[in-house]
Structure 1
């Protein structure tokens, strides 16, 4: 039958993983603990049986390549994988994409008491004592936002209207249940046909997954910025500060006048921001930035981005002007990580 996996992610996922395993017939529960990964130690349970692994290099990629992926390929059945809280399911699915393992669903558990503060903060995993390895500079916001955004289904540990408004806009396709009333079969049945199920795009797809509401609710709103003229690189660099306070998520596909043929990827979560290179534009070069605000002003975000766009005069003289471009250095730094 091959291996089918359900990935369960989140800082409060323990009970949910147990319940999915309990109601899924003839399945195996795999649980990982990476708290000792910096010392090269990984603890893994398979149906409650503990194995302590020692890796020559303590890193997440080694854990996936040398432990989790071979294990899943060998099991050849339905497996419920309770991921260590600092593992991001998108990275796991990317590693599985070159195998015969099929991802049935990604379920993320959202802790209503802490998620919003984590998603809009700037604390690093290391500051929380949760770094996966030495040199892990990821923020808590990157992890929790990414886990919720990539999920096919969400389980929330309680009720919070602001959190509900954020999740409606961050992942409108994913069905949600309260942990107190968890019905696993109903939750899985509600996952729509268009769910991601471990798939991912190349960065040139729609930045709006599903149909998020554009109306304001409890201070939460989606801002969509589109513009055909490029950004001035230094003005965009300065404008990005507006995306780091009161913002849950930014996803953008942009171009700067100094790199006319390159599509840059802009992504933020809470107080952290990343810029990468998607490669050459496959078609029309159109700026598009989508921002989910928690408390930031949509008008201020739009104005800051608009002010960073080149003027008609700058665009006409683009071939003659020299632009300082900090994004070249940022891209090189990202490629080295």
Structure 2
């Protein structure tokens, strides 16, 4: 990041995401129209990316430029590094550009782009030296979003894949887009009142502080004016960051509930594996850190959306580090660890947040507790735990049998160096 003086000179950037391309385009154009002379709108159409073709649109004032890009490798990462990031740098330096609106392709999760803005070096420095993420806005189709967010359809089935081996589901992208949003633009109409209420209940638990407005009467500046002062604005929590932002409702509304699972004993790896389905059936989202008895030194990051779930390496527990290694740990994480520190286990703990739309919260908690070590297994000690067969040896995807070696997630987790993938 730059100094305070340079930060004040950064160009505001608004990111607009969503799974329905036409609604994303309408919301992004609404943002541009409020200041057409000084606002540049950028869009990379990735429908042909797997063939190495990307269509780039830049709209600024009365001018509109469309160009077909041919990439050596057809993937989102190449598009970011070879064109999108350099283009944003050029626009941020242009004297007639006062704001940038990035209209994301439906295959893109805003967290990925925000990570790239903060960490990928272009011309010797990251883009956040020149742009300030004013807000991430996600468009939600009231008629179809809940079905998208709870289904098992893969992006490739809608010709939305970000690369030839992109096996992400529509649910994973749709949920990630909303979860990372600072504001929500609703579009269309739900088929019935019940679907609309349930959609609202899920969104309120994914991003509780995000203001909403309908696309039909959208005043973009008014919507941004309602964004909370402590909104995310592109900040990435990482596997040891906050699992809950804002104050999501903890009561059940229209069958939608939030389950907080916290325990101070490890999971038995095989019983946890057998319990995985409880985090998929009737569940919109699961996120959190798990402690598996056979892997005492590392936290595992568990994340699900709809019918897909993955487990990845989440980095070491602080209790497994030498004292001189703590200097590299953020003060925020050290404070959080100190609040839960156990004399024997340190900061090792189970922390999961589950948002369910059909599952019974009691059944989820009961199944997860059954997967914990029993008193007798605790008494057997860590040496015995290390001998347990471990289905989570390096990474895990569900359904079982998916070959992780060739998969590509194109997500911030991969970009930041975490291993693992989602099915």
What TM bracket, shorter-length normalisation? Answer: over 0.9
Query: Using the alignment, how far apart are the partners of 1:260 and 1:330 within structure 2?
Result: 15
Name the counterpart of 1:63. Answer: 79
C-alpha contact (below 8 Å) 1:257/1:315 kept by paired residues: no
Name the counterpart of 2:362. Answer: 299
C-alpha contact (below 8 Å) 1:119/1:144 kept by paired residues: yes
1:147-158 alignment runs, 5 A limit: 147-157=177-187, 158=189
Query: Using the alignment, how far apart are the partners of 1:19 and 1:315 within structure 2?
Result: 58
Report the Cα offset of residue 250 of structure 1: 0.4
Structure 1 runs of 4+ with >6 Å offset: none
C-alpha contact (below 8 Å) 2:313/2:395 kept by paired residues: no
Query: Using the alignment, how far apart are the partners of 1:200 and 1:112 within structure 2?
Result: 27
Extract unaligned runs of 5+ from structure 1: none
Name the counterpart of 2:17. Answer: 9
Report the Cα offset of residue 317 of structure 1: 1.2
Name the counterpart of 1:164. Answer: 200
Among 49, 64, 70, the alignment partner of 2:65 is: 49
Among 320, 323, 326, the alignment partner of 2:384 is: 320
C-alpha contact (below 8 Å) 1:3/1:75 kept by paired residues: no
The alignment yields a C-alpha RMSD, in angstroms, of: 1.5
Name the counterpart of 2:133. Answer: 103
Name the counterpart of 1:330. Answer: 395
- Scaled by the length of structure 2, the TM-score of the pair is 0.77
Among 9, 33, 41, the alignment partner of 2:45 is: 33
Deviations 1:134-178 (A, max 9, x none): 101010001000000001110111451110111111100111112
What SS does the aligned partner of 1:327 have? coil
C-alpha contact (below 8 Å) 1:3/1:73 kept by paired residues: no
Extract unaligned runs of 5+ from structure 2: 1-8, 120-125, 191-195, 319-336, 338-346, 397-403, 406-417
1:84-123 alignment runs, 5 A limit: 84-98=105-119, 99=126, 100=129, 101-123=131-153
Report the Cα offset of residue 336 of structure 1: 6.9
Deviations 1:220-251 (A, max 9, x none): 00011110000000111111101111111101
Among 9, 26, 32, the alignment partner of 1:21 is: 32
1:199-218 alignment runs, 5 A limit: 199-218=235-254
What SS does the aligned partner of 1:50 have? strand
Report the Cα offset of residue 257 of structure 1: 0.4
Report the Cα offset of residue 54 of structure 1: 0.5
C-alpha contact (below 8 Å) 1:120/1:245 kept by paired residues: no
What SS does the aligned partner of 2:393 have? helix
Query: Using the alignment, how far apart are the partners of 2:393 and 2:311 within structure 1?
Result: 10
> Cα 1:58–1:121, aligned 2, differ >3 Å: closer, same or farther?
same
Query: Using the alignment, how far apart are the partners of 2:295 and 2:265 within structure 1?
Result: 13
Report the Cα offset of residue 182 of structure 1: 1.2
The answer on 1:198 being equivalent to 2:234 is yes
Query: Using the alignment, how far apart are the partners of 1:206 and 1:40 within structure 2?
Result: 37
- Scaled by the length of structure 1, the TM-score of the pair is 0.96
